[in-house]
């Protein structure tokens, strides 16, 4: 018998909101060496390790969370809630002393949904349109985390989730390969042009 796909409010799927690190928590000298996710780190649904900020973290100014509360873990979802394009990405690696900046939102999901399902849906056209409709501001668009938590998320049966994630992994790997090939061709073009123009001078 075919299982029916459920629709859940995102807040029902979230087990933990992960606090961001305030700029006032960074220190220039002593402190805990750490890596910080910023908006530029979010690319194609993933956290790009090469685009993380390196900072030293001092004592937290907030009293409602510890450093351990703020640590990102494998499978966490990071969301940029500022437009014009709202981004979502999954943490797909383990890293010590790994945090999210204050201008991003992060959360941990219940085991009944794979994080990549939520990320792919949030980056898709339907959810992007909904996020834009929830956005505030005139010059700079933003969406409040409380509004993000009210998004309706489709939750496929477990076996279908696995198939969807496998398909997305295959497509994303192929697209990443195309991107590397494009960069290689562009470099080759520049090299050929530079050589040709140098010869002609």
Q: Give tens-digit pLDDT for 13-66.
A: 999 999 999 888 988 778 889 999 999 999 889 999 999 999 999 888 887 888
Residue 2 has pLDDT above 60, yes or no: no
Which one, of 169, 196, 176, lies nearest residue 48 by Cα?
176
107 and 127 co-located in one domain: yes
In a domain, 78, yes or no: yes
Where residue 75 falls (left for φ over 0; alpha for ψ -120 to 50; beta otherwise) is left
- 201 band by pLDDT with thresholds 50, 70 and 90: low
Residue 124 has pLDDT above 70, yes or no: yes
In a domain, 39, yes or no: yes
Half-sphere exposure of 182 (CA within 13 A, CB side): 6
- Residues spanned by the domain of 129: 6-155
The pLDDT of 100-107, averaged and rounded, is 92
Q: What is the DSSP letter of 22?
A: P
Q: What is the model's pLDDT at position 70?
A: 92
Give the count of domains, the chain.
2
- 83 band by pLDDT with thresholds 50, 70 and 90: low
In a domain, 1, yes or no: no
In a domain, 180, yes or no: yes
59 and 71 co-located in one domain: yes
Q: Rounded to whole angstroms, how far apart are CA atoms 117 and 168?
A: 9
162 and 135 co-located in one domain: no
42 and 115 co-located in one domain: yes
Q: pLDDT tens digits, residue range 167-194? A: 998 998 888 888 889 888 988 999 888 8
């Amino acid at each position: 018998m075919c299982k029916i796909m459920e629709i859940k409010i995102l807040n029902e799927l979230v087990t933990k909101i992960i606090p961001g690190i305030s700029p006032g928590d960074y220190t220039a000298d002593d402190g805990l060496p750490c890596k910080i996710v910023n908006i530029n780190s979010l690319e194609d649904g993933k956290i790009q390790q090469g685009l993380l900020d390196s900072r030293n973290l001092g004592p937290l100014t907030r009293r409602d969370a510890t450093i351990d509360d703020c640590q990102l873990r494998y499978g966490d979802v990071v969301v940029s809630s500022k437009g014009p394009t709202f981004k979502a990405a999954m943490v797909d690696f383990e890293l010590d002393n790994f945090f999210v900046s204050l201008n991003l939102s992060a959360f941990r999901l219940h085991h009944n949904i794979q994080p990549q399902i939520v990320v792919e849906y949030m980056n898709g056209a339907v959810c992007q349109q909904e996020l834009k409709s929830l956005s505030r501001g005139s010059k700079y668009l933003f969406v409040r985390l409380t509004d993000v938590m009210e998004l309706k998320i489709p939750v496929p049966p477990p076996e279908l989730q696995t198939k969807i994630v496998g398909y997305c992994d295959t497509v994303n790997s192929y697209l990443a390969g195309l991107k590397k090939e494009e960069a290689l061709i562009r470099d080759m073009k520049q090299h050929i042009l530079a050589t040709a123009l140098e010869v002609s001078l």
